[in-house]
Structure 1
Amino acid sequence: MKPIRLAAAFTLAATCACAAQAADWSDTSLSYRYGSKFSEPFNGKDIVKHVVNFSHASGYKYGSNFFSVDYLVSDENDPSAVGARSGAHEAYALYRHTLDLGKVTGRKLAFGPVRGVGITAGFDINSKTDAGYNSKKRMLVLGPTVMFDVPGFLNVSLVALHESNAPYNGFTQTATNRYRYDTHAALFSSWSIPVPNVPLEFEGYANYIGAKGLNEFGRPSAVEINVDMKLMYDVSSLLGANPKTFKVGVAYQYWKNKFGNPEDTVRGATARTPMVRAEYHF
């Protein structure tokens, strides 16, 4: 449990530290995305989802912060309760703080294609109201990060994840006490790369998440692969706005063994979801 206590302490300390620092830069956005091929474990149907997102990214003297909240609304193929004709609702929030070790120590930690090295800590929280699982995820994140020297940014982190959940099964009316999975490793990457000579950006994240032991029902978990990428076009000039204010584009998500459920035994455990997306940055 020591790494988990360190993660919690680091996250709290980093949050307090950045609150005391003036941001050198920041980007706040509201976005909307839509897809009709979402999937959920144990469901197996194509699900339509409308997703509204609020995100904030900022940088200060010693590092950077990222906070994001998704609000997801499903159609009736992912019902809100047993027999319901309305869809489930979900809120998913995450926070990451990356402490740049070069900036903290005053040393240049660049080498080869790497421009810097840091430590990332944070958390994920979700809550979903659906007929089956009703997730209440809580997760702490801690690990080193490598920042590559590219136009825009490309960060790769090797992290430890400490995750728990306390679901409520709407079919059996059974509540599960908060269950803690095995602490497991993950490789996280995120990027935003401008396309030369055109107002396009290639953005996204790719996560490789190790198996987390037995789940709360005594079944083995599987390695997850979650890739979410988007190509966004800056239409601000068409609307008379400052650059990078309004963006529209397309996105695609590939999520294998979603939430650690193995696709070979769980229907709907792998999603392949094209989406359309619009963003407003301020």
Structure 2
Amino acid sequence: MVDPFETIRHQIHSPSDAVRWACILEATAPKAGNVFPGRPFDDLQYIDFVKAAEVTATAFNDASLPITRRMLMAATATRQATATNVNLGIILLLGPLVAADESLKASEKEPNDWLAALETVLDGFDPTDGQNVYDAIAMASAGGLGNVDSMDVHQPHDQVDLRAAMISAQQRDRIALQYASGFRDFFEHVVPVVRNEIMGQGDLLTGINRAHVQLLAESVDTLIARKCGVDVANDVQSRSKLTCLDSVPEMAELDAYLRSPDHRLNPGTTADLIAAALYVLLRTPNHSFRD
């Protein structure tokens, strides 16, 4: 079986390289309801994602800095480069993944290795790390994540317990769920879907597009739920379940539905999870996954 990732893996020499590629691939794939080349929103263009990918990769490159400091640098640089919070969710997901990656040897890249390393990273976050992440969220003014229950992003750093805050938010935000679950949900339910669709199609962009709809069918997109309510998010999930991945007209119909006039149905959390999955797949040899 041809591994489509190999065409890119040999060009990746660092976690930063993989960050850049993962972000670009996710943004380039023609995913339903998302921005991609030739399909901008009124206030968001494909070039914004390209700029964000570059500045995020640069921010993550300095392994001498704490990972949460690099996450804050990435959020700040993205805001300066694009005047948007276009990749906050990606930054929140990639931070722990990059830190785990930096601790692993090339021979230690099976899913269980990733999970063990991630648990160490997440358990090691201190109040300063929590404040860095909260500052990144505040910088981006993310809807639904600006306040996490009783913990406000403007609290002094000595009061921030990042993982506790994410645990309290996990029911309404799937990115918070990854922090709460040690990324187990991600490795059990997201990475396999993205990998299997890409391998099955033998093409990165086609596989990403199909994985996007499959993930929408399997779980509610929590960004849609926060913006529009659970009933609307459930309707998106139901429509995705009814969409045939092999039918061009049905895929186009779902895309048109998700491109509501104000783009409030943009399934952004699902796209963020795909970018993170691409990072892992680019950094993990194919033989490490068991079919």
Greater strand share, 1 or 2? 1
TM-score (norm 2): 0.28
Greater helix share, 1 or 2? 2
TM-score (norm 1): 0.29
| Larger relative contact order (Cα-Cα within 8 Å, sequence gap ≥ 6) | 2
